[in-house]
Amino acid sequence: MGVAAETVSGWSRRRPLTWRRVGAASVPYLLVAPVVAVLGAILGYPIYSLVRLSFEKYGLFELIRHAGVDIGLANYRSVLHDTVFWHTLLRTVVFTVANVGLTIVLGTLLALLLVRVSGWVRLLLTAGLVLVWSMPQVVAVQVWYWMTNVQNGVVNYVLSELHLGNFFQHNWYATPFSQLAMVTTLIVWGALPFVAITLYAALSQVPRELVEAAEMDGARGWRVFKDVTLPIITPVLLILTSLSILWDFGVFTQPYLLIGQAHVNPSNYLMAIYLFEQGWFASDFGRGAAISLLMLVIVAALSVVYVRRMVRIGDEPA
Amino acid sequence: MRSRALVATLAVVALGVVAATANAGANRAQANKLTVWLQVDAQSGWPDVVAAANQQFQQQNPGWTVDVQYQNWGDHLQKFDATLAGGTTPDVIEMGNTEMTKYMAAGAFADLTSNKSKFENSGTWLSGLAKSGQYQGKVYGVPYYAGSRVVTYRTDLFKKAGITKAPTSLEQFMADAQKVAAANKGVKGFTPVYLAGTDWYSALSFVYDFGGSIATTHAGKWQGALGSKASVAGLNAFKQFFSSTAPASAATLDEAHPAPYDVFSQGRAAAIFGPGWYSCCVGTKYKSVTAQFVMPSHVDGQPMPGFLGGSDLAVPAPSKSQAQAIQWIADFTSTTSEKALQAKGNIPNATNLLGTSVNERAAARSWFVPAAKHWVDVENGNILRNMLAQILTGKLSVQQAASSASDNIASVLNQP
């Protein structure tokens, strides 16, 4: 690559404005073209269809005839005037902050633990994390459901046996808060392995000398972490945070299956469930498309801060 | 910088979208294969009846196979919508009687009017069930079976408590339940009746028993009726019944998680109120001491009006094997099939087949949901379940919860 680049720049210095130079300049674009074409086909077209759908009245009647009716911005207006949408958005933002916060904090603590423990304990811990990671979401939901089952759940049994109170036939899904709290435990549990293992890898890049030097200067525990370790792992933390925001904001499988279709209602909707209920269940696909595009914009807005910082760090000279 | 950040943001978002876009597998239609969607009730309750119909169909149509795909009530409509969009619908679909109207109105089903005579007993179809499959005078759904709701109970526990005959009034049932509870004080987690609090099929029976209803039409508009005096009286009676006989922990549970018959088979309840086929799954231990009685009304000697649940079989309009689909439905709803369904505790689809079982006696008084295009949205929006949870947990007063649900229902039903 280096040789080729040199040759190219050599030519361009001697003979400016020839077809060769134009050809050489287009090489990067040609190289990126296949990716752009594939992305355009598998992502661009569906998104184009989604945008078009969001401007149409497209219900069951239209679905069977494969033809919608253009209604302009009516779908967007109806969503933005729906108080359920705004309540759901607020709930989802709080839910996302709680989930991402818990995931990152607990993940960091686990990663720090991984650095400190002996070799075989680390192996055991990592194996456990990988097992958690490899568990399909639907299976995890079922296991959670069994464990927290009101009739014979092991959680109620264990808590009662430990004399932590009377948990006999305690219903863990009685209120919207408790429903979403149970979903949070499931999501954070499932997200921890990726965060912990990635952060462990990042922590192994922290030069030992720096930590030792800081300790020589009298810094301890939290201070060392805050002033030495944290700045070095920040890029990784930013990537993990922005990915977690994307995942948690649009989460569907865990809340829908764990709370259960019979119990999702406007008092516990998250955005993806609101979209599913309003778009699919009510067979109002045009409105569903409008909701999903609004979600897309919101997620982009939520993550723009992190992505900007990420790019800035990438631009800094090493 | 700014543009790079934007591009990077879009790229990350795009990745998220790709990851979140799950694709449902399509049902490729195959030559000489009839695809039938039945609900899991058939799989767990009467697979032999399905097998017999398939066999008969294959004898009439050599070279054809029947692919029966069992569906869940919770998501079968979403899957059906997806197949309508993709043009890969099944050839026969079982629809709940409350789900039919919306799809008939949208033109999702083939018109079966001219084929009606091909179905045995079509002249005497149960009128309530037949109506659910008809729209603007045309037949789109063939009645499959109906089910009423009865009380399934433990005869041994009732006897032990000194009760010798089934209660004939609601008040007596509640008094009997107290006796059963007193006789089983030592059993941990035992309640005389197990009932899921948000089981609206059961709860609304109390409403209809007291002369209330869900909604009524007035000058072409739907009006919510749950906030009416009669409806609130019914809901109060339900609350009283629930709190004196059923476990408080079940106030926000639904009738599928856990299944009431599972609680029953674990010996934790002496009675459950639900579909007649609940007797299927009471456990081998209690099979011989399980019987059923008609849920009594608050008026002595009358049955409480029960929800007349039921299913229809329809042929999706895009199906390319409509003639075969009609034949399969005819086989599956033949007198022989219906008699077999009856033997499993269901109500057959025609009046001339009706017997005198407890299930069929309970159907003497029944209620049905408003025949509105958007009714299914009320069901799926869990408006009634939410109302019941609010009532039973005491979050709202009966009147408050009922009035708010009533307004909600009216606005959903009156959508264009």
Are residue A246 and residue A132 in the same domain, yes or no? Answer: yes
Higher-confidence residue of A303 and A193: namely: A193
Token duo for residue B17? 């979208």
Number of domains in chain A: 2
- Residue A281 scores a pLDDT above 90: no
* CATH code of residue A132: 1.10.3720.10
Q: Could B377 and A282 be called an inter-chain contact, meaning their C-beta atoms sit closer than 8 Å?
A: yes
Are residue B295 and residue B158 in the same domain, yes or no? Answer: yes
- Average pLDDT over chain A reads 88
pLDDT band at A316 (very low <50, low <70, confident <90, very high): low
The total number of residues shown for chain B amounts to 416
pLDDT band at A280 (very low <50, low <70, confident <90, very high): confident
Q: What are phi and psi of B191, to 5 degrees?
A: -130, 145
Note whether residue B205 is domain-resident: yes
Tell me the HSE value of B165 on the side-chain side, using a 13 A CA sphere: 3
Are residue B180 and residue B191 in the same domain, yes or no? Answer: yes
Q: What residues make up the domain containing B274? A: 149-197+246-303
pLDDT at A74: 94
Are residue A146 and residue A28 in the same domain, yes or no? Answer: no
pLDDT at A219: 79
Are residue B269 and residue B297 in the same domain, yes or no? Answer: yes
Q: Are strands B141-147 and B309-314 parallel, antiparallel or unpaired?
A: antiparallel
- Average pLDDT over chain B reads 88
Number of domains in chain B: 3
Average the pLDDT over each of A30-44, A192-206, B148-162, B345-359 and give the range with the smallest value: B345-359
Nearest Cα of chain A lies from the Cα of B175 at a distance, in angstroms, of 25
Note whether residue B402 is domain-resident: yes
Are residue B169 and residue B131 in the same domain, yes or no? Answer: no
Note whether residue B21 is domain-resident: no
pLDDT band at B18 (very low <50, low <70, confident <90, very high): very low
Q: What residues make up the domain containing A49? A: 2-54
Note whether residue A105 is domain-resident: yes
Q: Compare all CA atoms of chain B with the CA of A299 and give the residue at the minimum distance.
A: B13
The answer to whether ipTM exceeds 0.90 is no
In the block, tokens 């990152």 appear at: A104
pLDDT at B31: 66
Q: Could A43 and B12 be called an inter-chain contact, meaning their C-beta atoms sit closer than 8 Å?
A: no
Inter-residue contact B271 to B290 (CB < 8 Å): no
Inter-residue contact A225 to A139 (CB < 8 Å): no
Note whether residue B361 is domain-resident: yes
Are residue B297 and residue B321 in the same domain, yes or no? Answer: no
Token duo for residue B309? 């649940």
* CATH code of residue B331: 3.40.190.10
Are residue A221 and residue A301 in the same domain, yes or no? Answer: yes
Q: What are phi and psi of B311, to 5 degrees?
A: -130, 150
Note whether residue B321 is domain-resident: yes
Q: Could A39 and B380 be called an inter-chain contact, meaning their C-beta atoms sit closer than 8 Å?
A: no
Note whether residue A124 is domain-resident: yes
Are residue B267 and residue B159 in the same domain, yes or no? Answer: yes
B185 has a chain A CB within 8 A of its CB: no
Q: Could B106 and A150 be called an inter-chain contact, meaning their C-beta atoms sit closer than 8 Å?
A: no
pLDDT at A14: 55
Note whether residue B23 is domain-resident: no
Residues 6+ apart with CB under 8 A from A67: none
Q: Kindly report, residue by residue over B44-73, the tens digit of the pLDDT.
A: 889 999 999 999 999 999 999 999 999 998
Section A90-107 average pLDDT? 96
Average the pLDDT over each of A57-71, A150-164, A228-242, B6-20 and give the range with the smallest value: B6-20
A47 has a chain B CB within 8 A of its CB: yes
Question: Residue B140: helix, strand or coil by DSSP?
Answer: coil
Are residue B177 and residue B222 in the same domain, yes or no? Answer: no
Are residue B183 and residue B289 in the same domain, yes or no? Answer: yes
pLDDT at A304: 82
Note whether residue A60 is domain-resident: no
Separation between Cα atoms, residue B299 and residue B168, nearest integer Å: 9
Separation between Cα atoms, residue B211 and residue B213, nearest integer Å: 7
pLDDT at B12: 46
Percent of chain B with pLDDT over 70: 93
Question: Residue B188: helix, strand or coil by DSSP?
Answer: coil
pLDDT band at B13 (very low <50, low <70, confident <90, very high): very low
Are residue B132 and residue B48 in the same domain, yes or no? Answer: yes
Torsion of CA A313, A317, B3, B9, to 10 degrees: -30
Separation between Cα atoms, residue B202 and residue B200, nearest integer Å: 5
Global confidence as pTM: 0.80
Percent of chain A with pLDDT over 90: 57
Token duo for residue B99? 């789900």
Section B289-299 average pLDDT? 94
Note whether residue B191 is domain-resident: yes
Note whether residue B118 is domain-resident: yes
Question: Residue B186: helix, strand or coil by DSSP?
Answer: coil
Are residue A38 and residue A131 in the same domain, yes or no? Answer: no
pLDDT at A200: 95
Closest CA to B167 of B159, B176, B158, B179: B176
Question: Residue B34: helix, strand or coil by DSSP?
Answer: strand
Q: Are strands A56-57 and B33-39 parallel, antiparallel or unpaired?
A: unpaired
A300 has a chain B CB within 8 A of its CB: yes
What region does B196 belong to: left with phi over 0, alpha with psi -120 to 50, or beta? beta
Note whether residue A83 is domain-resident: yes
One DSSP character per residue, A228-294 reads: IIHHHHHHHHHHHHHHHHHHHHT--HHHHHHH-GGG--TTT--HHHHHIIIIIITT-HHHHHHHHHH
What's the distance, Cα to Cα, between the start and end of chain B in Å? Answer: 49
Are residue A48 and residue A79 in the same domain, yes or no? Answer: no
Note whether residue A144 is domain-resident: yes
Inter-residue contact B57 to B328 (CB < 8 Å): yes
Note whether residue A132 is domain-resident: yes
- Residue A168 scores a pLDDT above 90: no
Residues 6+ apart with CB under 8 A from B70: B37, B38, B39, B40, B42, B43
The identity of residue B93, as a single letter, is I
Boundary residue ending a domain (B332, B347, B367) = B367
**Vertex A63 angle, CA A60 and A64, to 5°:** 95
Are residue A140 and residue A39 in the same domain, yes or no? Answer: no
With beta carbons under 8 A apart, name residues in chain B contacting A59. 106
Q: Kindly report, residue by residue over B87-98, the tens digit of the pLDDT.
A: 899 999 999 998
Are residue A192 and residue A289 in the same domain, yes or no? Answer: yes
Note whether residue A171 is domain-resident: yes
Are residue B141 and residue B156 in the same domain, yes or no? Answer: no
pLDDT at A317: 57
Q: What are phi and psi of B140, to 5 degrees?
A: -120, -20
Q: Compare all CA atoms of chain B with the CA of A303 and give the residue at the minimum distance.
A: B9
Are residue B400 and residue B256 in the same domain, yes or no? Answer: no
**Vertex A251 angle, CA A247 and A253, to 5°:** 130
Boundary residue ending a domain (B348, B367, B386) = B367
Are residue A136 and residue A183 in the same domain, yes or no? Answer: yes
Tell me the HSE value of B204 on the side-chain side, using a 13 A CA sphere: 26
pLDDT at A206: 87
Q: Could B381 and A281 be called an inter-chain contact, meaning their C-beta atoms sit closer than 8 Å?
A: yes
Are residue B52 and residue B129 in the same domain, yes or no? Answer: yes
Note whether residue A63 is domain-resident: no
Q: Could B8 and A315 be called an inter-chain contact, meaning their C-beta atoms sit closer than 8 Å?
A: no
- Residue A151 scores a pLDDT above 60: yes
